[in-house]
A = this chain, B = another copy of it.
Amino acid sequence: MASTLAPVTEGGDRPAFSIERILGLELERPGNCLKLHRPWTEIAAEKENAGNSVCFKHHHHPQQMKSSRPTSNWYIGRRPRTAFTNRQVSVLETVFQVNCYPGIQLREQLAGRLDLDEDRIQIWFQNRRAKLRRSLRETRLQLVQSAVADLGVRHARGDQELTQRLASRLQLEVDEEEE
């Protein structure tokens, strides 16, 4: 409900994959849904091999593609990207500081308060945790790198004993953070 006005036009008012049509089908296609494991990457690869420079990645409306394969219209499209407002992000960030694994009740509260679906909240927290993990990993990496550099300096000074102590302690801390 938050500025996601569904720009997916889908070529007018005739949906290619309406449930009515699907449920009307006689279900005589046992070998239809056996293309598991992200089949659109395969389609994209085929199109690239065909010399067509227009990549599937940049078309999320496959029914608009002039493809020779009728099987490529199995994918209708993804949800339009939600554009959170500054206020929404601000509230979400504040809550994240306190609880980065909100349960269903808090998610529902947030959804009601921010006029978003509960699922958007869920996804936001998943992506936010991933971002935090990424930044923690980078910080840790930089710490190790600077420590190694420091190690090098001290080693050059001939401060052998301190070097060894620092190294073992560093290893310890890195291991702790692993699990």
Contact = CB atoms under 8 A, between A and B. Distances in A.
A32 B94 CA distance: 12
B23 A105 contact: no
Interface residues of A, number: 50
Given A36-B129, A136-B36, A15 B98 contact: no
A106 B34 CA distance: 19
A72 to B, nearest CB: 12
Contacts of A104: 8, 76-80
Contacts of A77: 103-105
Interface string A18-29: 110011010101
Contacts of A80: 104
Nearest to A128: B33
A98 B136 CA distance: 43
Interface string A101-113: 1111110011001
A100 B36 contact: yes
Given A36-B132, A104-B77, A19 B95 contact: yes
A7 B172 CA distance: 45
A160 interface: no
A91 interface: yes
Interface of A: 8, 10, 15, 17-19, 22-23, 25, 27, 29-30, 32-34, 36-37, 39, 74-80, 91, 94-106, 109-110, 113, 117-119, 122, 129, 132-133, 136
9 contacts: A18-B109, A19-B110, A23-B94, A23-B95, A27-B97, A36-B133, A76-B105, A76-B106, A119-B119
The 4 closest A-B pairs by CB, nearest first: A76-B103, A119-B119, A33-B100, A77-B103
